[in-house]
């Protein structure tokens, strides 16, 4: 049995949910008088155990929202998630995903906003993705949706620079890096530009899907 933190949290959440459910079903079926012992039982059944379930469930849910499997839950993302999972693919996303530091969380690792409130802004953007999916892409086939899928804002070079410091001499030895140093740093030229390191994912007008 896999004893990962996530599995332990799931077991804790299920255990406390079962304990709460047992107390609540007992209360509904037996209809005991509202004495001190009933109040304490209800404090456990309506307060302590459900709060424990919700807290552990939230942690597990939040962890799962970072997984590639979660992103592929929307069918229009499948060409991207299938590509990064393909060991024969040489797209930038696939090569990064083969790195264990990215692994199963590669979508989140690259698309997460950095900074103090990065996780919050990433999740808010994620909610916008959900809205767009349910209002626009849900009823489309993958072929119909792909030409319309676009980033809300240009991919920030800052995200690449979290790992690639761009400060080492070998980086400056690449003529394009040296020539575009200022433009890369202020975001005028994207690392993911076609001809530089892009396209990151397979696209309809670049690498065939």
Partner 1 sequence: MKRRIQIVRLLRRVRLNAMRLLRIAAILALVGLGLIVWSLLDPRPIPIMVAMSVAQGIGTLSFVIFLVVLLEDAWRANRKRKAERDEKEEDRG
- Residues in contact with partner 1 by CB under 8 A are 10, 13-14, 17, 20-21, 24-25, 27-28, 31, 34, 39, 42-43, 45-47, 50-51, 53-54, 57-58, 60-62, 64-65, 69-70, 73-74, 130
Closer CB to partner 1, 5 or 130, in the complex = 130
For the beta carbon of residue 127, count every other beta carbon within 10 angstroms: 9
Closer CB to partner 1, 53 or 190, in the complex = 53
Are the beta carbons of 198 and 92 closer than 8 angstroms?
yes
Minimum CB separation of residue 71 from partner 1 in Å reads 9
Minimum CB separation of residue 93 from partner 1 in Å reads 20
Residue 76, C-beta contacts closer than 8 angstroms, at least 6 positions apart: 133, 137, 140, 142, 145, 146, 149
Minimum CB separation of residue 43 from partner 1 in Å reads 8
Alpha helices in the chain (DSSP H): 5-30, 36-42, 49-65, 68-71, 78-85, 92-97, 106-111, 118-132, 142-145, 157-161, 169-173, 175-179, 181-185
Closer CB to partner 1, 51 or 124, in the complex = 51
Closer CB to partner 1, 17 or 180, in the complex = 17
């Amino acid at each position: 049995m896999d004893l990962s933190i996530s599995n332990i949290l799931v077991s804790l959440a299920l255990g406390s949910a079962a304990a709460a459910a047992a107390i609540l079903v007992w209360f509904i079926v037996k209809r005991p008088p509202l004495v001190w012992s009933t109040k304490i039982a209800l404090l456990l059944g309506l307060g302590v155990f459900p709060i424990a379930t919700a807290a552990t469930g939230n942690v597990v849910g939040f962890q799962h929202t970072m997984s590639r499997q979660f992103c592929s839950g929307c069918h229009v993302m499948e060409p991207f998630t299938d590509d990064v999972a393909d060991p024969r693919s040489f797209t930038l996303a696939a090569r990064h995903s083969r790195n264990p530091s990215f692994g199963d969380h590669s979508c989140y690792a690259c698309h997460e906003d950095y900074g103090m409130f990065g996780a919050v802004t990433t999740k808010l953007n994620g909610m916008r993705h959900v809205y767009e999916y349910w209002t626009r892409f849900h009823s489309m086939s993958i072929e119909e949706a792909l030409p319309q899928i676009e980033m809300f804002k240009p991919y920030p070079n800052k995200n690449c620079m979290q790992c690639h410091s761009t400060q080492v001499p070998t980086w400056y030895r690449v003529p394009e890096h040296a020539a575009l140093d200022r433009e890369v740093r202020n975001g005028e030229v994207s690392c993911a530009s076609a001809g530089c390191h892009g396209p990151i994912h397979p696209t309809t007008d670049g690498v065939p899907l």
